[in-house]
Amino acid sequence: MNQPITLPLTLLKRLERLATETRHTPQSIIKQAVTEKLDYEEWKLRQIDEGLAELKAGKGIPDAEFWARIGTVSNARKKTA
């Protein structure tokens, strides 16, 4: 599936500048950026699916316990800062 994509002029200028400064081709920069974004989005969806499966299996915690844990983490961070 080779279809051209259209980028706004501002992105093209940034891409050209970055390519010049890093001595990479614009194509390699785009390929890396798209690959990293796809990897992240796929990972995020897997995490969501795993979390939903855990909830369905009854492995969730009550709201009050969740907020208590968050408060504990938040307070611990304040104490170490």
pTM for the model: 0.70
Q: How far is CA 16 from CA 34, 62, 66, in A?
A: 17, 51, 47
Over its C-alpha atoms, the chain yields an Rg (Å, rounded) of: 22
| 71 assigned to some structural domain | yes
Task: Report the distance separating Cα 73 and Cα 81, nearest Å.
Answer: 12
Domain total in the chain: 1
Return all residues near 30 (Cβ < 8 A) that are at least 6 apart.
15
pLDDT at position 72 is: 77
Q: What is the mean pLDDT of residues 60-80?
A: 81
Which domain does 47 fall in, by range? 29-80
| 37 assigned to some structural domain | yes
For 12-48, the pLDDT digits (tens) are 999 999 999 999 999 999 999 999 999 999 999 999 9
